[in-house]
Chain A
Amino acid sequence: AQKITQTQPGMFVQEKEAVTLDCTYDTSDQSYGLFWYKQPSSGEMIFLIYQGSYDEQNATEGRYSLNFQKARKSANLVISASQLGDSAMYFCAMRVYNFNKFYFGSGTKLNVKP
């Protein structure tokens, strides 16, 4: 069975500090991709970062980096230098290529304090 787990329903971080959002996954497939999406209160889903299961280096996109630990089946999102505009829901997702669909975690609501 495929499963994504986000254990932090809500988090607070001070502006300009770094924050880590946790994500663990479960799959028996060897070929998959891990994604993080941001959903502001407007409802739109914004793609942030992608990590392939065969990628040896951790993905980075600007202030976002993905701490990929394959043996532990974790794919944590690190946001550096938090900004007020980072306040939103964050979803971790996994795409198992054999099934060609995405599995989503329950989300983490991040609040950035000024």
Chain B
Amino acid sequence: GAVVSQHPSWVICKSGTSVKIECRSLDFQATTMFWYRQFPKQSLMLMATSNEGSKATYEQGVEKDKFLINHASLTLSTLTVTSAHPEDSSFYICSASNKLKDTQYFGPGTRLTVL
């Protein structure tokens, strides 16, 4: 299957700082990238859908000014958590897809801890 990388795999930051998470599709062009958040023992919660060259579509309840998503190229999308607070601590997972009738390929996830 296709390979998606995510960096960093974990990050600890102080409250009030911003954190950027990168998601790269390594061997295919991703027309769509998805960003998810997952709390312990829970399912994935879709935060936003990002199409290359256009603005991300955020799910209801997700603050677009807090979670900035950029999909600058067909292989890279970034999620920036601005002014992070302890309640933003979570496991963030990206995925990438290049065909509508196809699976999404997941990155390994980023564990964010805000102190």
Q: Which residues of chain A have a CB within 8 Å of any CB of chain B?
A: 33, 35, 37, 42-47, 50, 52, 91, 95, 97, 100-102, 104-107
Determine whether the beta carbon of A45 is less than 8 Å from that of B100: no
B95 within 8 A of A: yes
Stretch at the interface among B16-24, B66-74, B79-87, B102-110: B102-110
Cα A95 to Cα B104 in complex, Å, equals: 10
Known: A44-B109, A91-B44. A52 touches B95 (CB 8 A): no
Determine whether the beta carbon of B103 is less than 8 Å from that of A43: no
Determine whether the beta carbon of A100 is less than 8 Å from that of B93: no
Cα A37 to Cα B36 in complex, Å, equals: 14
Count of chain B residues near A, Cβ 8 A: 21
What are 7 pairs between A and B in contact, CB < 8 Å? Answer: A43-B111, A45-B44, A45-B95, A47-B105, A50-B103, A100-B100, A106-B42
B49 within 8 A of A: yes
Known: A43-B91, A45-B93, A97-B100. A105 touches B1 (CB 8 A): no
Known: A44-B109, A45-B93. A97 touches B104 (CB 8 A): no
- Pick the contact of B49: A43, A97, A100 (CB < 8 A): A100
B114 within 8 A of A: no
A43 partner residues in chain B, CB cutoff 8 A: 91, 93, 108-109, 111
Determine whether the beta carbon of A105 is less than 8 Å from that of B106: no
B13 within 8 A of A: no
Given contacts A42-B108, A102-B34, A102-B104, 14 further A-B contacts (CB under 8 A): A33-B101, A35-B103, A43-B109, A44-B106, A45-B95, A45-B106, A45-B109, A95-B100, A97-B100, A100-B100, A101-B46, A104-B43, A104-B46, A107-B42
